Amino acid sequence: MDITRVFTEEPEQELWRSLLQFSYRANILRHFDENHIAKTDEDDNLTNCIAGALLQADEYYKASKTVSLQVEPLLLYYGTTNLFYAMYILLNGTIPEIRSHGMHITVKPKNGFIAETSISFDHHLDGGVHVFSEICGFTENLCESHSWDLGEFLDSIAEIRDDFERCYRGRKSHIIPLYVIKTPDCVVERVFLDGEDALATLSMVDGFDSAYLSPQRASTRNGDSYLVLHHKMTGKQIHQISYSGQPYLQISHEKNGKKLTVPKELNMYVVLFALGNLCRYHPEIWNPFVVQDSTGEKLLVEKLLYYARRMLPNFVLNCILKKQVVFVSDKYVPEDRVHLVGRHEVQEIVAEEIRTQMRTNLAKTVMQSERSLE
């Protein structure tokens, strides 16, 4: 996906200005024409659905910044639902048939954690989460997997990985950070996975065997053990990038003997639904959590909501424009074509220059010797 950098001193406001351009009828119709999208409904119905959904999403997102945690997840869930709804129409030129959320929760507290909330899926054909999941690149039928809890969606969001493992001591994140090292010969990646099950863990990453050679065990000077990953020459890139810019691998969940890797945006959407459902229909659980949480789980939820507010609208914009839009505060600088070289490259350049000079001197010596013989 191509990357477009947009200069702004207010990234979030500029992001929404970019989205709200599609609240105008002329821009919507131009988008359909430029992308050769055949429209199957009346123009006015399409444009009103898109514009209304985006304008409502903007209101929900703005309101979510002015309220407390008591209702913030609910506002973000409805705002994101409107964003996904508008995105679906802009990408397909048709209005989706949605009759339910496509999921519901069951509260079964054991250790007092919100993450223990059970989530199940239904209405595969017309449930909102299933209609929108295809836009996120996920085509598996979640209705066929019955045993999920909220923690299984939280553990696959890279931006809260450290908070997840700190809060839920008995659970492991499904995110494996990659530490990239560039050498003169190649680029390698390191992962810090201990124990005999490290290779089994990597095998649960979709496409790992086709992307990487067999991992090699190594140690740092401090004795910390890690695995070195080398890409296969014909293997494709399977890593993802977190909001901070660090690459990572995502471990699948095994459900009914099947590996499922739920995209980050869909993980966030399901989490927003569950949290919104708790604060709307289970105040007997949600209010004590908000007012007197002592586990640190509240901080994790607050961080998740912060990242969802910033990342989900950007994801929608990227899908609509079919390119990655990055909002930056760096001002324009002239294109720099000066090639900066490292120490190894300098050594190679010097060595090559010496070899060239030696060959030249040798040729001169030979020519002088031949002339003296004449």
Report residue 102 as tokens: 């496509």
Q: Once rounded to an integer, what is the mean pLDDT over residues 97-114? A: 88
Full domain range(s) for residue 361: 334-374
Say whether both 265 and 211 belong to one domain. no
For residue 243, being part of any structural domain is answered with: no
Q: Is the pLDDT of residue 76 over 80?
A: yes
Model confidence pLDDT, tens digit, residues 250-284: 999 999 889 999 999 999 999 999 999 999 999 99
Model confidence pLDDT, tens digit, residues 163-210: 999 999 889 999 999 999 887 777 889 999 877 789 999 999 999 999
Say whether both 343 and 315 belong to one domain. no
Domain count, the chain: 3
What percent of the chain clears pLDDT 70, i.e. is strictly above it? 94
Q: Is the pLDDT of residue 27 over 70?
A: yes
Q: Once rounded to an integer, what is the mean pLDDT over residues 100-129? A: 91
* pLDDT band with cut points at 50, 70 and 90 for residue 356: confident
Q: Once rounded to an integer, what is the mean pLDDT over residues 52-74? A: 98
More confident residue, 235 or 148: 148
Say whether both 157 and 183 belong to one domain. no
Mean pLDDT of the chain: 91
For residue 245, being part of any structural domain is answered with: no
Say whether both 93 and 218 belong to one domain. no
pLDDT of residue 336: 63
Single-letter amino acid code for the residue at 334? P
Say whether both 135 and 263 belong to one domain. yes
Q: Once rounded to an integer, what is the mean pLDDT over residues 109-113? A: 76
pLDDT of residue 221: 81
For residue 36, being part of any structural domain is answered with: yes
Q: Is the pLDDT of residue 348 over 90?
A: no
For residue 244, being part of any structural domain is answered with: no
For residue 250, being part of any structural domain is answered with: no
pLDDT of residue 355: 83
Model confidence pLDDT, tens digit, residues 236-253: 899 999 999 999 999 999
pLDDT of residue 45: 92
For residue 246, being part of any structural domain is answered with: no
Say whether both 81 and 138 belong to one domain. yes
What percent of the chain clears pLDDT 90, i.e. is strictly above it? 71
Say whether both 59 and 96 belong to one domain. yes
Q: Is the pLDDT of residue 111 over 90?
A: no
pLDDT of residue 337: 60
Say whether both 132 and 87 belong to one domain. yes
For residue 248, being part of any structural domain is answered with: no
Say whether both 231 and 262 belong to one domain. no
* pLDDT band with cut points at 50, 70 and 90 for residue 333: low
Residue-level length of the chain = 374
pTM above 0.85, yes or no: yes
8 Å CB contact between 290 and 70: yes
pLDDT of residue 339: 59
For residue 295, being part of any structural domain is answered with: yes
Say whether both 142 and 279 belong to one domain. yes
Say whether both 73 and 191 belong to one domain. no
Say whether both 75 and 120 belong to one domain. yes
